[in-house]
Amino acid sequence: MATHPEKVFLHGTTSRKQVALTFDDGPDTEYTPQILDILGQMGVKATFFLKGVNIPGREWVVTRMIREGHLVANHSYSHQNLRKLSPKQISIEVQKTEALVEKITGRKTALLRPPYGEMSAEGLNSLVAAGYSMVNWSVDSGDWKANHSDQVLQNILSQAKAGSIILMHSAGGVGQDLTPSVEALEELIITLCNRGYEIVPLTSLLPAEAYQSGG
């Protein structure tokens, strides 16, 4: 992903003591609402990278994200490895989720996190031309495979520094249990704040907009 360095991000500005929490693969009706509850209670704004196939029937969860001040971003429709798809197939994957989000929020997404962080050079070219920035991560919580909230906390707190983009999940695959992630969240926020970090929406950390301008 070296061809458009100004449109591909692994972390944000390191000049301020800020980090961003990002949650992938939602919406669901099990973990995502619990995460929204905690973020709301703690007054923290996060960014949700949505998997399009999870949206139909759960539009109310996306509405809730927007209403509560979070950013909504694109995580493709069916969560395939985009490096293995043609630029045309990639565009379809991204546009299907973009259309679902636009129907709910009236805004088109402009931030994409490709599944597994994988993207082909040709796909990147076409997405940048379509107004997208790619956002991966610098801190992996490993939350989907953690057995206990302490593991999630340890994974994040041992790596977090100024500009960190922290990868978590707000929905799991079949049989995946995100309880450790949900249980870690409050202590994570408190600890980051105690260490002097401000938790900000992704667009405060990056020179990028969350939504396409002009519709």
Catalytic residues: 24, 169
CB of 84 closer than 8 Å to CB of 49: no
Closest separation in Å from C-beta 54 to Zn ion: 10
- Work out how close the CB of 25 gets to Zn ion at its nearest, in angstroms, rounded to a whole number: 4
Structure tokens at 133: 């920035």
Of the pair 23, 197, the CB lying nearest Zn ion is at: 23
Q: Is 98 in the site for Zn ion (CB under 5 A)?
A: no
The CB-nearest residue to Zn ion is: 24
What are 55's strand-pairing partners?
A: none
**Beta bridge mates, 112:** 74, 134
Asked if 23 contacts 46 with a C-beta cutoff of 8 angstroms, the reply is: yes
Burial label, 52 (beta-carbon count in 10 A; 0-12, 13-18, 19+): buried
Binding mask 103-142 for Zn ion (x = CB under 5 A): ------------x---------------------------
Q: CB under 5 A: which stretch of 24-32, 60-68, 83-91, 133-141 binds Zn ion?
A: 24-32
Q: What is the chain's percent helix, strand, coil content, to nearest 5?
A: 45, 15, 40
Nearer to Zn ion (CB atom), residue 12 or residue 115: 115
Q: Would you count residue 24 as binding Zn ion (CB under 5 A)? A: yes
Q: Which stretch binds Zn ion (CB under 5 A): 5-13, 23-31, 39-47, 58-66?
A: 23-31
Identify residue 27 by its one-letter amino acid code: P
Token pair in block for residue 85: 């798809």
Does 25 sit near Zn ion (CB under 5 A)? yes
> Total binding residues for Zn ion by CB under 5 A?
3
Find the shortest distance in angstroms from Cβ 164 to Zn ion.
18
* Nearest Cα residue to 93 out of 71, 116, 62: 116
Residue nearer to Zn ion on the CB measure, 23 or 211:
23
Q: Say how far apart CA 143 and CA 152 lie, in whole Å.
A: 6
Q: Which residues of this chain interact with Zn ion, rule CB under 5 A?
A: 24-25, 115
